[in-house]
Amino acid sequence: MKPSFRFLLAIIAFIPFSLNAQIQKPGVYIEEINKFPPSIADVETAIPVFIGYTEKADLRAAGDLHFVAHRIKSLLDFEQFYGKDFAAAFSKVQLDINNKVISAEPASSPYILYYSIQQFYNNGGGHAYIISIGGYGSALQQADFLQGVDVAEKEDEPTLLAFPDAVNLPGNGLYTVQQKALQQAGRLMDRFCVFDIKYATDKTSHDQVVAEFRNNIGNSQLKYGAAYTPFLNAGVMSSAVSYPQWKNVLWLGANRITLSQLTTDPAILAKIAALENMSPADPAYRQHEKELGQAFPVMKNISDALKSLPRMLPPSGAVCGVYSSVDRDRGVWKAPANVSVNNVRSLAVAITDRDQETLNVDANAGKSINVIRAFTGRGTLVWGARTLMGNDNEWRYVPVRRFFNLVEESVRKGTLPFVFEPNDANSWTKIKSMIENYLTLKWRSGALAGAKTTEAFFVHVGVPQTMTAQDILEGRIIVEIGMAVVRPAEFMILRFSIKTQNN
């Protein structure tokens, strides 16, 4: 459409004006007429808010970020404001005859948010919000997570909710937090929940935690959440491994040993003795430990090996990263499935085709659970894209729900300029054109199905389609939007026939 102008010829000059203004002196007056309605911009679709415990929560003063949603854009940002991982002691470190670590058993830690953030960025994550609900040393409390979810409600930008630490809550605490998150998502209609199933080590225990989840998650607002299993044996890195974490659990063969038994060098033995006599809280302890590692490579090799040990983590951090990556590269309407999960060495439980049948389709209540599986030659993949409302034909798939979230929130914000505008046909036409232009772009991008736009969506607004005279009197503009959203091809069915030779 070409720009148009309206002008009144007088005598002397070009002066911008409005027809509503009085014309009192000679001149040429120009009025620019906007032919295009305001446009609608996409809101962000994959900005998670992670809720959990951190080493610190400092922005300008110590602890000032506790129970505050703060935006980060990298792992370095997280480390700057929230610190690093919890230094859990090891329960056993096994050495071979060459003094190299062949196995190690890290003590379980309830604080896994730092590692989950690593997995988020390892899998393509971008911006995120962090809500620290306490420091290391605090006992995990259901009330802390519930308060953290309340804090998240005050933020408009986040579109995903995740709380990896909550899998370690005692009793049914995890499910109470998950239910509250679903209620918030259903109320705000602008976010989606990424849930974890509790840790399991074999098929029997996995069946138990799946049944426990389905029995306790409830039945409300299930279309706003998706659950993922099993835990991932992830190659995340500890920020540091200190000598006190492993000095008392060294084993060589069947014998427990000390670091001093691995050398006969008097100078090294003296340094070890000096370190043993220092308190880890001493400011000089770290420097002395570093110098010992430089002088005694065996010690440094042990620490380096322990730093790179894989950690068993819930999948929500990695899955949020996959959501971010897929949204950025393909669009929110693409199912975040059949996508590789990076930095995973193995899975806590191997899910077979037969196992996935009952996880994907819940005949009793439709509470589908998405799985992460390892395939020979293809790697570890997210292998499912169903919401917890798996038996519902409208809201069965994650990309459908999240695409509606995108359109609803984008249109809501895009139509705000029409609040208090005249409730007449001119406004209705502008609103309709604006939304149709937006949805046409989505159709061209492949988000909507149909050979023509009329098959892909419709937009109705105004009297008599969506409104009555009473609606105008009460100050309401009612817009009705229908969309034919593309759905993932979940089942590929191939048919073969044998053609007999004609005689």
Per-residue confidence (pLDDT) for residue 238, from 0 to 100:
74
CA 80/CA 403 separation, integer angstroms:
34
Report the candidate in 352, 372, 380, 398 with the shortest Cα–Cα distance to residue 160: 398
Token code pair at residue 350: 């191997």
Per-residue confidence (pLDDT) for residue 22, from 0 to 100:
67
The phi-psi region of residue 67 (left if phi > 0; otherwise alpha if psi is between -120 and 50; otherwise beta) is left
CB 243 within 8 A of CB 289: yes
464: preceding bond cis by omega (within 30 degrees): yes
Taking the CA of residue 281 as centre, how many other CA atoms within 13 Å lie in the half-sphere pointing to its CB?
0
Per-residue confidence (pLDDT) for residue 151, from 0 to 100:
98
- The tens-digit pLDDT sequence of the chain (503 residues) is 444 444 444 333 444 445 555 677 887 877 777 766 678 999 999 999 999 999 999 999 999 999 999 999 999 999 999 999 888 778 888 998 888 888 887 777 889 999 999 999 999 999 999 999 999 988 899 999 999 999 999 999 999 999 999 999 999 999 999 999 999 999 999 999 999 999 999 999 999 999 999 999 999 999 999 999 999 998 776 766 788 888 888 998 888 999 999 989 999 999 999 988 888 888 888 898 888 889 989 888 888 888 877 788 999 999 999 999 999 999 999 999 999 999 999 999 999 999 999 999 998 899 999 999 999 999 999 999 999 999 998 999 999 999 999 999 999 999 999 999 999 999 999 999 999 999 999 999 999 999 999 999 999 999 999 999 999 999 999 999 999 998 886 555 666 667 666 65
CB 50 within 8 A of CB 164: yes
CA 427/CA 49 separation, integer angstroms:
37
CA 219/CA 203 separation, integer angstroms:
26
Instruction: Produce one character per residue of 192-222: b if its CB has 16 or more CB atoms within 10 Å, e if not.
Output: bbbbbbbbbeeeeebeebbeebbeebbeebb
Q: Kindly list the structural domains of the chain, giving each domain's residue range(s) and its CATH number in brackets, ordered by start.
A: 4-33 (no CATH), 48-236+311-400 (3.40.50.11780), 261-306 (no CATH), 418-503 (no CATH)
Per-residue confidence (pLDDT) for residue 494, from 0 to 100:
62
Q: Three-class SS of residue 65?
A: coil
Q: How far is CA 501 from CA 86, 186, 498, in A?
A: 71, 60, 10
CA 40/CA 249 separation, integer angstroms:
61
Length of the chain, in residues: 503
CB 226 within 8 A of CB 192: yes
Q: How far is CA 149 from CA 132, 194, 272, 348, 388, in A?
A: 11, 13, 47, 28, 20
Q: What does residue 348 show for φ and ψ, rounded to 5 degrees?
A: -65, -35
CA 63/CA 124 separation, integer angstroms:
29
Tell me the β-bridge partners of 480: 460
Using alpha carbons only, give the angle 174, 198, 209 rounded to the nearest 5 degrees: 105
Per-residue confidence (pLDDT) for residue 247, from 0 to 100:
86
pTM above 0.75, yes or no: yes
CA 410/CA 438 separation, integer angstroms:
9
> Which residue type does 354 have?
R
What is the residue-wise DSSP string for 165-210? Answer: GGGG-STTHHHHHHHHHHHHHHHH-S-EEEEEPPP-SSHHHHHHHH
CA 192/CA 178 separation, integer angstroms:
11
